Chains A and B, each alone.
Chain A
């Protein structure tokens, strides 16, 4: 759970990310604010195109070529990262903030052994020699649950299963003892029993090292299992935040409520699913007012014209809906 007293490891304020397109700049992320504390997991949940992955990339200073941070502030351990040079970013990445991805194979070099790639973290950042790097790589591999670590140092990535590759990625991400880990759909490509292993491993490492974690996911079940707090994203903005228990029990945004009702309810088997009609807007043709209004059963005139800013309606609970209280009352059970 969040450590209330400490300065947050990560503070994001009013973040905006824009893509350059032939038709002009396209705002993929707007007005995004959140904090992550030590030993805490914040999940950012949303469907494809919601802006969750772009947000994660922005935190790492890794926005795609055609994109740029168009506004807002990101502070890592109290340090504003705006205007950091490439060299400063390289010192930050891995050392203070790390990231793992859905597909470890695309992040690992297929022609180098796993031991070499993990060891490289120590050679490059810590000036370790070959033998030292190799020894520490083996230690890390054992720590993340790769059986027979010593022997597997000399294997190439393709010799590992998907789950084992994700463990290799986690080992590399944690090699330099960062304070923050961003996990972007870390288990989406994995089978459920392997997913459970990886989620457990992340939880164990988080507790042992008091990591702050951001879990990017489209899976409400994974979020329920792994996160302390959740931020729901829709069309580039956070529409609701709160503790997982609060948000899941009493959604305060119609989109969140819609997502919950679109998933089979484990406590009401066979109950008809309520689909959210339509689909998320094209960011180039973002509806006026609240971006969710064309799909929203609660929408009224004001929603067509006024884009509601996220407002806190009680401690650590915010919703970007004009009718948050009404939504809560509607979804309450």
Chain B
């Protein structure tokens, strides 16, 4: 059991290579909490912008008639990974966790696994 702040802190502390994390409502584009980031990387802007990514994928799946749910979305940059994990639990419908990883330090499989665990902690 965790609140937003501790969940984000845990994400940054326990996931190797994580440089920023945010919990985002993808209908309004509001970041319910952010941690990390920098002057050159505004997590609030990233949060609002990535709602369009999630929405576009959901819409495409609707057009294709796919019934599955999105678990996570990975965006690979030349020097970073951006990981989006949709939250499905109680009270969390319509939210996603957004994680920025330094690709030189991060272990992607491990990061996905830990993010899943943090989501579970947040919503139990």
Is the A/B pair a real complex? Answer: no
A residues near B, CB below 8 A? none
